[in-house]
Structure 1
Amino acid sequence: MSAEFDREYWDDRYSALDDVWSGAANPVLVTETSDLTPGLALDIGCGEGADAIWLAGRGWQVTGVDFSAVALERAAARSRRAGRDPAAAVARAGRIDWQQHDFTSWAPPAGRFDLVTAQFMHLPSLRRTVFFRALADAVAPGGTLLIVGHDVSDVHATAHRMPDPDLFFSADEVAATLDPAQWRINVAESRTRTARGPDGSPSLAADAVVRASRL
């Protein structure tokens, strides 16, 4: 991991703001997993926990992993909030295991998860290829791999947030790491969404989206 995006960077970023992200589950996760039968899920780079909390609310048993202790503390607190239904909040929190790991030296257990999702998990290209293969290995037979990130075509539009072009990738790049004898590629595309530009005004962003099923 480049020094800019190491554990200290993310701890500082989360500590500086009450809310770094919106608190809502990533739209691609919602779209691509709503029809899946709940089982064991691994949420990589879970941040403040919105995706893991959403999955747990739908009945998944979730392992939420990040390398920022500050983010994980915030995520755990959010999952315990009662909201309108205290009993549901307790049940949801009990379905999530928050874990801190360094993605440059850790790999998840192989063949364990029915869903592995990594939303906007950006590593330098050489480490990214190795780590994405480790994520694929963690998917159980019949399970789903979902990887979403800033598309390489968006390198100039989002340079204010991620100045290193090597951190961007394409859907085809991710799909090419999956053995066709073991995987069926369901989705591999660049998908446009509305985001906020550097000045806060609406702008278009392109995401690389890959969803694959392990045979």
Structure 2
Amino acid sequence: MPEEFGKDFWEERYAGHTHVWSGRPNPQLVAEAEDLAPGTALDAGCGEGADAIWLASRGWRVTAVDFATAALRRAREHAESLDADAAGRIDWAQADLTEWAPPEERFDLVSTHYVHLAASREAFFRRMAASVAPGGTLLIVGHHPLDLQTTIQRPPIPELFFTAEDVVAVLDPGRWDVVAADARPRPATDHDGNEVTIHDTVLRARRRP
């Protein structure tokens, strides 16, 4: 992981601001998971917890993992203030996603959004895929390389960007059915107030029973 996105960077960022993110679930999670029957879910890189809270409010039992303790503290407080029942369905855990391996074949949904990894990215994808239970869903969302051609603020580190095909390449085609592999456009506003189109890499795959 680039040093500027290490644990100290994120601890300082989460500790120094009231809110880093919007508090709303990621739109690609809502688009891809709202039709899934609730079960067990892993939210890898949960940040301030909006995705985990959204899943728990829909009946999922969620394991939410981040390596920033300040983010987890804020996420837990946010969940408890919004919905005590949902908060009771979330287990918050501190771990370094560059190394942490979740239990294999454990979760009905494994979801990870915008995790900044470079050299360890393929190994991370493999660990996430291995933790999906038979019949379960893998959802990986990231910043697409096309964003580097826009004026949107993105880290000038090409290794952090990937395509859906990059994820597909690490999946065993005999064990997975790819449901979506997209560079999905959405509107955004750059630092100067200009309207631009950015693209989310979206990979949704179902593990065969």
TM-score, with structure 1 as normaliser = 0.93
Residues 120 and 25 of structure 1, relative CA distance in 2, 3 Å threshold? same
Cα deviation, residue 121, structure 1: 1.1
RMSD of aligned residue pairs (Cα, Å): 1.2
Q: Deviations over 1:156-215 (max 9, x none)?
A: 336733111111001111111111100000000100011221224432111110000000
Q: Which moved more, 1:205-214 or 1:147-156?
A: 147-156
Partner SS state of residue 166, structure 1:
helix
1:99 aligns with 2:93: yes
Query: Whole-Å Cα distance in 2 between the matches of residues 193 and 11 of structure 1?
Result: 29
Query: Whole-Å Cα distance in 2 between the matches of residues 122 and 159 of structure 1?
Result: 17
Long gaps (5+) in structure 1: 83-88
Which of residues 102, 105, 108 is equivalent to 1:111?
Answer: 105
Query: Whole-Å Cα distance in 2 between the matches of residues 77 and 115 of structure 1?
Result: 24
Which of residues 183, 190, 199 is equivalent to 1:190?
Answer: 183
Which of residues 156, 173, 177 is equivalent to 1:163?
Answer: 156
Q: Deviations over 1:63-105 (max 9, x none)?
A: 00001101000000000004xxxxxx22111000010101122
Partner SS state of residue 149, structure 2:
coil
**Aligned residue pair count:** 208
Long gaps (5+) in structure 2: none
1:16 aligns with 2:9: no
Query: Whole-Å Cα distance in 2 between the matches of residues 128 and 118 of structure 1?
Result: 12
The sequence identity of aligned pairs, in percent, is 52
What amino acid is the match of 2:47?
A: G
Query: Whole-Å Cα distance in 1 between the matches of residues 152 and 68 of structure 2?
Result: 23
Query: Whole-Å Cα distance in 1 between the matches of residues 197 and 152 of structure 2?
Result: 14
Partner SS state of residue 41, structure 1:
strand
8 Å contact from structure 2 (residues 152, 191) kept in 1: no
Query: Whole-Å Cα distance in 1 between the matches of residues 193 and 70 of structure 2?
Result: 26
